[in-house]
A and B are shown apart, each in its own frame.
Chain A
Amino acid sequence: MKKLGFLVLLMAFWANACAQEGVLPLPSVNLKTLDGKKFNTSAIDNEGKPIIICFFATWCKPCMVELKTIAESYEDWQEETGVKLYAVSIDDSRSSGKVAPLVNGQSWEYEVLLDENSDFKRALNVGDIPHTFIVNGKKEIVYQHASYAPGVEQEYIEKVREILQQEN
């Protein structure tokens, strides 16, 4: 009975997954800003230009390397493409207090959000971090990448350029 239910359900999902077209929209989840204010992810916006969303945590080494590396060219990226990066921290109460000192200490210009309960992470089906999403001007996810290796950031900016070409 249990198995049957699951199978039917799986098939139903499959049928729906096949029926749906194109790309996923951003889910709407309540997060916090570094000031502690409520922030709904539906407010993630870049006035029709592409967006990069990076999941990270202060204790995640490759995440730190990724965000520090992007920070070096972020100004150039913004000038060229107008892209905006949202860095979403999944630090829980053990370390979420470290995010603001980190971000200010590193002088990052990113939009930083706190996902203390991992709600956004779950809504976007993120397993391990780092995990990065590229979102187009219509706020649809068009690309995602799990893990980080030096040079992957080139892939991100190329995707952003592709989006701009397609949308123009």
Chain B
Amino acid sequence: MKKPLLLLACALCLLPSLKAQSFLQQGKVSGNIQMNAQYYIEDSVIGAEKIDNKVRTNTFANIQYQNGGFSAGLRYEYYAQPLIDFEKIGYVGEGIPYYYFAYTQDNMEIVLGSFYEQFGSGLTFRSYEDRNLGFDNATRGVKIKATPYKGITLTGVWGKQRNFFDYEGQVRGIDADISLNELSSKLGESDFRLRFGGNFVSKYEADNDPVYRLPENVGAFSGRAGLGYRHFNLNGEYAYKFNDPMALNDMVYKAGNALLLTASYAKKGLGVYLTGLRTDNFDFRTKRTALLNNNLINYIPTLTKEHTYALSSIYAYSSQPLGQMGFQAEVQYKIPKKTLLGGKYGTDVAVNYSRIHGIRKDTLASVLENGEGMEGTLGYTAPFGAAGPLFYEDFNIEIGHKFNKSWKLIMSYVYLDYNIEVIEGHPGEPNVQSHILIGDLTYKINNRQAVRMELQHLSTAQDDGNWAYAQVEYTVAPKWFVSVLDRWNYGNPVESKQVHYYNISGSFVHKASKITLGFGKQYEGILCVGGVCRQVPASYGMSLQVVTSF
């Protein structure tokens, strides 16, 4: 990896001296830097362990060079002594795990090096990053995207896959996307919209298994279609994966499949969204022994609302690719202005419901007879419509209303039924049923200053019991931000664990730079962003974040 870097460095060294050439003068450099640091204090009550190396940091910098159709970039990452939650998942190291050279012409894009890409909704292939989550499965290799004819896009990818500071495994894939409206000028004008797509992805992993003869090349394909008429949209994607025994599926040789359907309708003041998903044995990774979020090739979207308030996000669903089926429905309605319930500014109402089950898996008769478990067999059959146990249910309603120029209120109620046994892997624990109430009130003092207050309550008879939460935020736009919050587990069945998780923080923002200083306790739980979740350990201490982009 050093050679291309040095070459790039030398090429760039020459740039200032060659400034006379107008081509080079057009080149632009941009980037960003982010540093998260924390000082850890031991707290045995909340489970914050004693840490020998008390001061830790996650730091990275992106630098990009762009000149007409040519661009190049890299990311330096310093995670040698990372934050404790990153260390726990194995995100430890230092270096330049991400660099690329790209050339874009009218109908062609070529990337050499690391890249992020997604086919369709990601069921068969998605390389993606979420820096806050410590998730990065960038592909390093070649990506070519071509539009041979207006409305037709072909994408080819070939490369190794990032797993923390290594690149491992091999993935290659090709995707075609056809938009009929762009293809035909007649359809282009019409209210109907139609597009199709399909792809094939395969991975390679050598077979060194002493017992089984494992497939070294495993393929998956998917087909998708999208239909639109005015404000109505219907999308569907079906994916299939050939036999792929791995640790997570008990070394079963059964093929996998996934189906995702989405429909939406909207008109002025009203939006309706419906989506359904079923997956069976659809965990797709470059390594058969991989666990957690490691070595993932694809992405199975989570069909639940992404809750953002502290207490409603304690029990967040995380996608179960090995077997799940469910749906989500959401209606958004804006009660018009100048009506009794709408008031002067109108009132926003959003109702959302989702329900996800496991799928029923009937073990094959031959496996039962054999009595030696599923390993090395075709395992089970899963009839399409047959549901397994409840994994997750979520009913929530949110009402937002602005009373006048100064006062704004958001009220929310959430009911969750959470299968902690499956989602968090706590064997034998009962489902957690919780009711959550949230009030979020903003008072605008004047054009620049505002105070926001959040009150939340979660009640449940299971797990850690009841929680109460209060937060006050004071902002002076555009530069200052102060927040004080307390999250109190007053209903914990263990009295000594009825802890106040308080946090005080302040930020200073200047244009694209932000500095945040905080002090407090972090609750041990699951952090989810965009449907990818990971465990966050309890911690106590001081944190500093510096972000800038240039």
Contact = CB atoms under 8 A, between A and B. Distances in A.
Interface string B121-136: 1100000110110000
B193 interface: yes
B88 interface: no
B514 A146 contact: yes
B268 A104 contact: yes
A16 B15 contact: yes
Contacts of B547: 127-128, 146
Contacts of B272: 101
A28 B67 CA distance: 11
A35 B189 CA distance: 12
B478 A145 contact: yes
A8 B13 contact: yes
Interface in A136-168: 143-147, 149-152, 154-155
Contact of A150 (B13, B231, B475): B475
Interface of B: 1-2, 5-6, 8-10, 12-13, 15-16, 19, 27-32, 34, 62-66, 71, 74, 76, 95-96, 104, 109, 116-118, 120-122, 128-129, 131-132, 153, 179, 181-182, 193, 195, 226, 228, 231, 233, 235, 260, 262, 264-273, 275, 299, 301-303, 305-306, 308, 330, 332-334, 345, 348, 442, 444, 446-450, 452, 475-478, 481, 507, 509, 511-514, 530-531, 547, 549-550
Nearest to A59: B306
Given A2-B1, A12-B15, A150-B477, A104 B267 contact: yes
For chain B, what secondary structure do more than half of its interface residues adopt (helix, strand, loop), or is it mixed? strand
27 contacts: A2-B96, A5-B9, A12-B13, A16-B12, A30-B109, A35-B228, A36-B195, A38-B179, A60-B308, A97-B264, A101-B264, A102-B271, A104-B266, A105-B266, A105-B333, A106-B334, A107-B334, A125-B30, A125-B549, A125-B550, A127-B32, A127-B549, A145-B509, A147-B509, A150-B444, A151-B449, A155-B478
B444 A38 contact: no
A116 interface: yes
A101 B328 CA distance: 14
Nearest to B99: A9
Contacts of B235: 97
Given A6-B76, A95-B306, A105-B270, A146 B64 contact: no
Contacts of B233: 97, 100
A107 B15 contact: no
Interface string A44-87: 00000000000000011100000000001000000000000000
A43 interface: no
Given A13-B29, A16-B16, A8 B275 contact: no
Contacts of B273: 97-98, 101
A2 B332 contact: no
A157 B34 CA distance: 28
Interface of A: 1-2, 4-6, 8-13, 15-17, 19-20, 24-25, 27-28, 30, 35-38, 59-61, 72, 92-95, 97-98, 100-107, 116-119, 122-128, 131, 143-147, 149-152, 154-155
Given A2-B95, A118-B116, A146-B514, A125 B64 contact: yes
A35 to B, nearest CB: 6
In this complex, which of A30, A125, A126, A131 has the most chain B Cβ atoms within 10 angstroms of its Cβ?
Answer: A125
Contacts of A146: 509, 511-514, 547, 549
A101 B509 contact: no
Given A12-B13, A117-B117, A36 B28 contact: no
A145 B27 contact: no
A37 B181 contact: yes
Given A117-B117, A127-B34, A145-B512, A104 B231 contact: yes
In this complex, which of A16, A72, A101, A147 has the most chain B Cβ atoms within 10 angstroms of its Cβ?
Answer: A101
Nearest to B153: A38
A35 B193 contact: yes
Nearest to A101: B271
B306 A94 contact: yes
Contacts of B266: 100-101, 103-105
Given A17-B550, A97-B262, A36 B193 contact: yes
B32 A125 contact: yes
A6 B75 CA distance: 10
Nearest to A119: B116
B264 A100 contact: yes
B106 to A, nearest CB: 10
Given A15-B16, A144-B512, A146-B509, A100 B334 contact: no
A36 B2 contact: no
A6 B5 contact: yes
B512 to A, nearest CB: 4
Contacts of A92: 118, 122, 128, 299, 301, 530-531
Contacts of B511: 143-146
Nearest to A118: B116
B444 A28 contact: no
A152 B477 contact: yes
Contacts of B514: 146-147
Nearest to B106: A40
B308 to A, nearest CB: 5
Given A107-B334, A147-B509, A151-B478, 6 more contacts: A35-B193, A94-B306, A94-B531, A101-B273, A104-B268, A149-B475
Contact of B345 (A1, A17, A35, A72): A72
Contacts of A124: 30, 549
Contacts of B444: 150-151
Nearest to A19: B16
Contacts of A36: 179, 193, 195, 226, 228
A18 to B, nearest CB: 8
Contacts of A27: 66, 71
A92 B141 CA distance: 23
Contacts of A106: 332, 334, 348
Given A9-B12, A92-B122, A152-B478, A131 B512 contact: yes
Given A149-B478, A150-B442, A9 B9 contact: yes
Given A2-B95, A72-B345, A9 B5 contact: yes
A119 to B, nearest CB: 8
Contacts of B477: 149-152, 154-155
In this complex, which of A9, A20, A36 has the most chain B Cβ atoms within 10 angstroms of its Cβ?
Answer: A9
